[in-house]
């Protein structure tokens, strides 16, 4: 007679209001553990969401992929929407973290712009499916959180915008519209993931980046900028030879 309290049996919602739309509450207190477990969960989620999509991936599958039990997921995450948010954040954060990291050592506005594009494309190549995920699934997020993801995108865009702006300010590039130019450069990078099914037949990543720069950067350079551009290309040619075995 005395039986388990059924799952659906809650008279009052017990979840406390989140601190903000971006905050993901965890029932577990140890931050070390939260970090680790969430890492497992989100990595699993990115992998599965990327492959099968958000709605067709079950929490059970995520748990199995993460090597934990179903219930445990809910100790670190409020609901499936949280998992999606965390997954998308992981992707956007990677862009935002890795591009600047790589730029630190690079000097010269054109060189920096080219490096930024190349780096962005390389990250996207690594996160190809995950990048597609951001296009597929951002709309599946709750409204307030969708905005959060957009903010992340805006921040990454600003990195490229800044590079474009430096080129212009240094008199190495002439762009009628820095904002749009930067946006199209970003889209160029995203396109590698979005249209990989078509592009892979014709391009290697390196070739894609090279041709893209020739198309979207080179034509807008000033004479001065063209010198820097040639140097930048030579550079990256060097680097490729270096890293190729």
Partner DNA sequence: AATGAATGAGAATTCATTCAT
Partner DNA sequence: CATGAATGAATTCTCATTCAT
Residues binding DNA (CB under 7 A): 1-10, 14-15, 27-30, 33-34, 37, 56-60, 68-75, 79-81
- Count of residues that bind its own copies according to CB under 8 A: 58
Q: Is 15 in the site for its own copies (CB under 8 A)?
A: no
Token reading at 74: 């809910």
Q: Mask 87-126, x = binds its own copies (CB under 8 A)?
A: ----------------------------------------
Site string for its own copies, 140-179 (x = CB under 8 A): xxxx------x--xx--------------------xxx-x
Task: Tell me: does residue 10 bind its own copies (CB under 8 A).
Answer: yes
- Contact indicator for 93, 58 with CB cutoff of 8 Å: no
- Choice from 33, 35, 52, 200 touching its own copies (CB under 8 A): 52
Other CB atoms closer than 10 Å to residue 116's CB: what's the count?
24
Our CB check for its own copies shows the closer of 105 and 143 to be 143
Encoding tokens for residue 177?
């519209």
Name which of 159, 25, 160, 147 is nearest 89 in CA terms: 147
String of b and e for 32-44 (b: at least 16 CB within 10 Å)? eebeebbebbbeb
**C-alpha–C-alpha distance, residues 41 and 35, integer Å:** 10
CA distance 155 to 166: 17
Counting contacts by CB under 8 A, is residue 209 touching its own copies? no
| Shortest CB 121 distance to its own copies, Å | 13
Minimum gap (Å) between residue 242 Cβ and DNA: 43
Based on the shown chain and the rule CB under 8 A, indicate whether residue 28 belongs to the binding site for its own copies: no
Nearest to 187 by CA among 151, 229, 153, 237: 153
CA–CA separation, 63 and 173 (whole Å):
50
What's the Cα-to-Cα distance from 48 to each of 45, 136, 236, rounded to whole Å? 5, 13, 34
When asked if residue 72 is in the footprint of its own copies (CB under 8 A), the reply is: no
Q: By CB under 8 A, name the binding residues for its own copies.
A: 1-6, 8-12, 52-53, 55-56, 58, 79-81, 84, 132, 135-137, 139-143, 150, 153-154, 175-177, 179-181, 183-184, 187-188, 191, 194-195, 197-199, 202-203, 208, 211-212, 214-216, 219-220
């Amino acid at each position: 007679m005395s039986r388990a309290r059924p799952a659906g049996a809650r008279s009052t919602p017990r979840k406390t209001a989140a601190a903000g739309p971006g905050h993901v509450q965890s029932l577990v207190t140890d931050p070390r553990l939260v970090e680790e477990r969430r890492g497992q969960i989100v990595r699993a989620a990115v992998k599965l969401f990327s492959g099968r999509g958000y709605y067709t991936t079950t929490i059970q599958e995520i748990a199995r992929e993460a090597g934990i039990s179903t219930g445990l997921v809910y100790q670190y995450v409020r609901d499936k929407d949280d998992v999606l948010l965390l997954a998308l954040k992981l992707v956007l954060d990677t862009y935002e973290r890795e591009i600047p990291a790589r730029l630190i050592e690079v000097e010269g506005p054109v060189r920096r712009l080219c490096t930024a594009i190349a780096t962005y494309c390389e990250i996207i190549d690594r996160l190809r499916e995950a990048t597609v995920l951001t296009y597929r699934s951002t709309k599946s997020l709750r409204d307030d959180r969708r905005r959060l993801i957009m903010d992340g995108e805006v921040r990454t865009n600003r990195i490229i915008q800044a590079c474009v702006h430096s080129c212009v300010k240094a008199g190495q590039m002439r762009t009628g519209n820095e904002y749009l130019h930067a946006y199209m450069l970003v889209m160029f990078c995203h396109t590698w993931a979005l249209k990989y099914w078509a592009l892979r037949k014709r391009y290697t990543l390196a070739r894609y980046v090279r041709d893209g720069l020739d198309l979207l950067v080179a034509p807008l350079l000033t004479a001065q900028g063209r010198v820097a551009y040639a140097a930048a290309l030579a550079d990256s040619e060097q680097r490729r030879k270096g890293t190729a075995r």
